[in-house]
Amino acid sequence: MSIEALTHPDPYANLAASYDRLAEWAVTEQQESARGHMADFLQAFWKTKPGPVHRVLELCCGTGLMLAELTRRGYAMTGLDRSPAMLEQARRRLGEDTVLIRSELPEIPDDIGGFDAVISAAGGFNYLSERRIDATLAAVARLLPPGGTFVFDVYGQGFFTKLFDPSAPRVMALEMEDTSYIWTFTTAAGDAHYDMAYSQFHRDENGTGDSWVRTRDLHRFYKLPHDTVRRLAAEHGFTEAEVHDNYTSAPSGPHTLYDTWTLTRGTG
């Protein structure tokens, strides 16, 4: 089977039910920031801005982990994601009060209203090519008032160095009680994109004995160089664009696993 044949219109359909446990593993084993730490960073950043933050939109909201964290802290949250399966998990977590929107970036419905801030956590923007990042930043800028902020994280240079070897595929595996994963990481010529072929093995609840169901998907990532993000941010009216090391005050560097971007829309 070719790598292209693994492409699925919803690459999270097979992952949604076990995503939360995988997210916990990413925090403990892959140095991803916990949602509580992300929320602390966001609140500290928002306090540096003159305008209050109450209404917040999360792009690529997944199963609603960040939506739930910020809702508990008093924010009025709206979530947007392209995956119906992930949104179904988010609805179970959040109930009927939180607005959840099915849409694929860069499409953000114009009628969802304005927001004080927009966020995107856990690397969702790495799925977007430069063209789609450009269009998404334009859409976000239209939603924000002057002085409004956009905070998002993407995989940094350290992440790609750690997991992707241009000379040969890398393989990583994880075994849980009822689910196991095998990831194969390959790099396209010229670093045009980075492919993670994702094999997942679920215990078959309808079967007998030790039977398993295998699913396979392709997750395609793109690097977001710092100069590219700064250029596109400026073109869409963001007058401040800073990149941090994984939701800390430290600047991002060549070994950073997760870049955290803070953008502020100009007031002029």
CA 11 – CA 246 distance, rounded (Å): 25
pLDDT 10s digits, 191-211:
999 999 989 998 776 655 577
Tokens of 194: 């980075």
Q: What CATH number does the domain located at 160-221 have?
A: 2.20.25.110
| Sheet with 179-187, edge to edge strand ranges | 170-175, 179-187, 194-203, 212-221
pLDDT 10s digits, 218-229:
999 999 999 999
Position 17 scores a pLDDT of 87
Angle at which helices 226-235 and 130-143 cross, to 10°: 40
- DSSP H/E element including 245: strand 238-245
Q: Are 114 and 120 in contact (CB under 8 A)?
A: no
Residue 94 has pLDDT above 50, yes or no: yes
Q: Using alpha carbons, list the distances in angstroms from residue 115 to 54, 57, 76.
A: 8, 7, 10
Position 207 scores a pLDDT of 55
pLDDT grade for 101, boundaries at 50, 70 and 90 = very high
CA 28 – CA 190 distance, rounded (Å): 32
Position 3 scores a pLDDT of 39
pLDDT grade for 1, boundaries at 50, 70 and 90 = very low
Write out the DSSP string of 139-177.
Answer: HHHHHSPTT-EEEEEEE-HHHHHHH--TTS-EEEEEE-S
Position 110 scores a pLDDT of 83
Domain boundaries, the chain: 16-156+223-265, 160-221
CA 74 – CA 133 distance, rounded (Å): 29
pLDDT grade for 5, boundaries at 50, 70 and 90 = very low
The values of phi and psi at residue 104, to 5°, are -110, 125
Give the contacts of 191 (CB within 8 A, at least 6 positions apart): 166, 223
**Nearest CA among 57, 231, 78, 86 for reference residue 151:** 57
- DSSP H/E element including 65: helix 65-72
pLDDT 10s digits, 111-159:
887 899 999 999 999 999 999 999 999 999 999 999 999 999 999 999 9
pLDDT grade for 187, boundaries at 50, 70 and 90 = very high
Position 37 scores a pLDDT of 98
pLDDT grade for 239, boundaries at 50, 70 and 90 = very high
Give the contacts of 54 (CB within 8 A, at least 6 positions apart): 75, 76, 116
Tokens of 256: 């950073």
Q: What SS3 state is found at 38?
A: helix
Tokens of 180: 């196991």
CA 201 – CA 34 distance, rounded (Å): 26
Q: 238-245 and 194-203: which strand pairing? A: unpaired
CATH superfamily to which 16-156+223-265 belongs: Vaccinia Virus protein VP39 (3.40.50.150)
